[in-house]
Chains A and B, each alone.
Chain A
Amino acid sequence: MITRRFALLLALGVPLPALLPSPWLLTAAVLALAGGAAVLDVLVAAPLTAVTLRRSGTETVWLGGSASTTLTVANTATRPMWLRLRDRWVPSAGADATEHRLNLLAGEEREVTTTLTPTRHGNRPAVRVTLRSYGPLGLAYRQRRQRWNDEITPAWTLRVLPRFPSRRLLPEKLAKLRVFDGAVVTRGRGQGTEFDALREYVVGDDVRSIDWRASARTHDVMVRTWRPERDRRVVCVLDTGRTSAARIGDEPRLDAAIDAALLLAVLASKADDRVDLLAVDSQVRARVEGGGHRTKLPRLISSMASLEPALVETDFGPAASDLLRRGHKRALVVIFSALDAAPIIEGLLPMLGRLTTRHRVVLASVRDPETEQLARLGDEATADDVHLAAAAELALAERGRVRALLVQQGVLVVDEPREAFASKVSDVYLMLKAAGRL
């Protein structure tokens, strides 16, 4: 294939027929010269089959951060290669410079680095490396079909973990956890509800914790000590249905839910509780259960990374039947959804009775401040504002009814704006844990 330089060569020959006699002969000569040079150039250009590609670099990055991947290009031919390549990623991978020019001597290896700043979480794959080998004159090049380029492209996927802005709350929440865990309080043990050990009474101990039977056995006054419950089960149920696609502020509701679920999972793991994950819309999108404490958290984060909102109505049936299976001990079930009538009343409410009898259920929903702003009329309100306010009042009233219905069923409802959402969900967990109601 020819390059623009070839066209330039022809353009340079344009004045010749006008300046010299036998114009057609000169035209043919210009064409023959340019064509011959181009053919020679293609023949001399290094073959593309002599290129080998290798990739290395970062595999995982948090959303908002940057990662770099390195593509190593080697020329195994016996002649030099003038190579131009394009390293294509999906647009949301945020690759900075995709096009590179390399002059490779015979047997030489060069690295090209692409910096990726992803704009969405999930898997961001490298799609294709397209190669083009130029001749020394730059008049023509060799380039193969897309399928061939697909085949030689080394597979690489950057795993972009979801944004976790509430990470900054973690020290504060862990401190709270340690307070009632007893790790910070130097005197005595914590104030949990689970029996920990017996020890001798010292002045200042609560007399209500004296164990009289043990005191009789040992002829000394013994007191019971307590610690918070451990090995409780926390199940995060993420609704990835249509309501999770709603944008609150700058991000979809699902991202806020993932952020809160991550904070809760980290906190629960630190508190030696087991965290499971279930993501559902019309079907189960992700399920993380079992496994050791150490490996669980990375698995959870990784599963959440690939979650995307789907435009379908959520069916809580599979999740509920999963939770109601026999053998499952009592758990804290945190459902991250929206306080919308349709999915909650039609999907969740029929099984809520059975769920609440076996588990402690929390429904966490991010509140949209825009509805409340619309419901509030300013001094300069117009009739249009009143119509909007009426619609907003209806939505608020419906949300209030759903909330009342859930509370009536024994569900704890967290309905907070985005800023306080993750913190509030963690607080509910900490509160339940401190009260021994997990």
Chain B
Amino acid sequence: MKLTLPMKHPRRLRVYTPFALVLALVTITIIAHLVQRADPTDSAFLSPTSTDGQGASLLAGELRNNGRTVDVRTGTLDAVEQASQGGPATVFITTPELVNTKYLELLALLPSEVRVVMVAPRQAQLDQLGLNVTAAGPRWTAAAPQPGCAAGFATPGPVAAFRWSYPDAPVACYNGGVVEVPSPTSATFTLVGAADPFRNDRADEHQNHAFAVRLLAREGRVIWLDLHTREQLPPSQPPTPRPQGTGDVEPNPDPDATGAPWDDGDRDDSEPGGQANQGGSASGDGGGSPLAQAFPPAVWATVALLVLAALALALASARRLGTPVAEPLPVRVRAAETVRGLGSLYRRAKARGSSLATVQAAARTRLIEHFGLPAGTSVDELAAHVAARTGQPDNEVRHLLEGGVEDSDEELARAASDVQRLVRHLTERNVT
């Protein structure tokens, strides 16, 4: 019914069609973008071992070729521990939004000889790190601005690093897409606004590859944090990192009785967009399904109530006020049904000869009755009788009354019509 409605109103159809097309295009674009967007929880995302489009095996290979050690770690604690030992290093954090917020604080405690490169951190992570930088964006896709700065990693050409931007950082390159936050006492943070420069499939675009190599090859060691699941706090107390060689670093800004930074009771650590719950509240749900944790309880409660309301509606509609009553229908057959059936059989069998013979025999019977001739009158006698009245030649009338039919439908129709016309002509003329 709804489908046929616009067809009944062509004008309405003309008005709606362009809007519907635009809406469909927008919907398809949004869906395609969502589907095509890189997913940090995908194990291939910026992984040094993945040759996938969104992997970063090219970059890792190039770093190794340049004589850098690429130390791949899958836990932040592990990476922090490695970075805090053994001198200068670059910690490359590909998925900062998956790093546990408590561990982010540890990153801020790393010694000053360590560089931390983060890919597209959000405002929440920046706040947690204690960096006085604001995150802006994101853009729909990454733009490729010119470097516009004299930093060591800056390339001569553009780099597709401008998706998120950090405009108020002390050292801003690529229009704010890549910024550096140096600190005399702790690690230097480099924030890159997009993952594109590191990806295999974008390595050839602009000067992405050169930029990534320059950025990460500044120190001899690259500690690559390849993290693809949201980090949970371990049940036991992790070791507190002790910066080596620098006695002037604050070990813990707010130490409590246990000395562990995650026991400070601050549970307001949720990220924007409801992506939290991996902190204190996760201890209550301990190992619950990710779907259950993805939405706040209010959503689940609303959904439950909606489902119950729908169920109640179904139940209320299910019971009828008495069942329908069945009644046997009377038999009704068209009286001429057998005649039509027999006609169809003749047609299917192409029984032109039989059909014409039957029509001619009926015509002869009518003429014999009409002229009052005896029942056994032969066709010749009848033809002569008819010819005498109509003035047609005998053999022509005889052919009309008894002749066969060639193998053609048109001839059958003509012959049968002719014989009936003859009968009507004779009988009706005489009556009038």
Contacts and interface: CB of A to CB of B under 8 A. Distances in A.
B358 A368 contact: no
A130 B321 contact: yes
Contacts of B319: 1, 143
Interface string A117-152: 000100000011010100000000001001001000
Interface in A331-371: 368, 370-371
B305 A14 contact: yes
B225 to A, nearest CB: 36
A143 B321 CA distance: 8
A390 B359 contact: yes
A247 interface: yes
A13 B339 contact: no
Interface in A19-56: 23-24, 26-27, 30-31
Rank and list the top 3 A-B pairs by shortest CB-CB distance, nearest first. A130-B322, A383-B409, A23-B301
B303 to A, nearest CB: 9
A287 interface: no
Given A253-B335, A383-B413, A309 B330 contact: yes
Nearest to A14: B305
A371 B340 CA distance: 9
Given A252-B332, A381-B413, 4 more contacts: A242-B331, A252-B330, A388-B339, A388-B343
Contacts of A386: 352, 355-356, 359, 412-413, 416
B343 A392 contact: yes
Interface of A: 1-4, 6-8, 10-11, 13-15, 17-18, 23-24, 26-27, 30-31, 84-86, 88-92, 99, 120, 127-128, 130, 132, 143, 146, 149, 242, 245-248, 252-253, 308-311, 368, 370-371, 374-379, 381-397
A245 B331 contact: yes
Contacts of A391: 339-343, 346
Given A1-B319, A24-B297, A253-B335, A7 B359 contact: no
Contact of A13 (B305, B334, B416): B305
Given A92-B327, A394-B358, A370 B309 contact: no
A210 to B, nearest CB: 44
B322 A86 contact: yes
A252 B335 CA distance: 9
B332 A382 contact: no
Given A7-B312, A90-B327, A371-B339, A383 B410 contact: yes
B331 A309 contact: yes
B302 A17 contact: yes
A390 B325 contact: no
Which of B335, B352, B420 has the most C-beta atoms of chain A within 10 angstroms of its own C-beta?
A: B335
Interface in B329-384: 330-344, 346-347, 351-352, 354-356, 358-359, 361-362, 365
B300 interface: yes
Nearest to B297: A23
Interface string B286-309: 000000000001111110111011
Contact of A88 (B305, B322, B356): B322
A132 B321 contact: yes
Given A245-B333, A387-B355, A391-B346, A11 B416 contact: no
Contacts of B355: 386-387, 389-390
Interface of B: 297-302, 304-306, 308-310, 312-313, 315-317, 319, 321-323, 325, 327, 330-344, 346-347, 351-352, 354-356, 358-359, 361-362, 365, 409-410, 412-413, 416-417, 420
A24 B413 contact: no
Contacts of A99: 321
A374 B413 contact: no
Contact of A10 (B312, B341, B365): B312
Contacts of A253: 335
Contacts of B313: 4, 7
B309 A7 contact: yes
Contact of B316 (A3, A246, A381, A388): A3
A242 B338 CA distance: 13
Given A4-B313, A27-B305, A120-B330, A381 B416 contact: yes
8 contacts: A2-B316, A7-B312, A10-B312, A23-B298, A85-B321, A86-B321, A132-B321, A252-B330
Nearest to B342: A391
Contacts of A14: 302, 305-306, 309
Contacts of B346: 387, 390-391
B63 to A, nearest CB: 49
Contacts of A390: 343, 346, 354-356, 358-359
A395 B338 contact: yes
B336 A311 contact: no
A374 B258 CA distance: 106
B330 to A, nearest CB: 6
Contacts of B332: 245, 247, 252
A37 to B, nearest CB: 13
Contacts of A7: 309-310, 312-313, 315-316
A10 B315 CA distance: 13
Nearest to A251: B332
A149 B416 CA distance: 66
Contacts of B306: 11, 14
A363 to B, nearest CB: 17
Given A90-B325, A245-B333, A246-B335, A23 B358 contact: no
Contact of B417 (A1, A2, A146, A379): A379
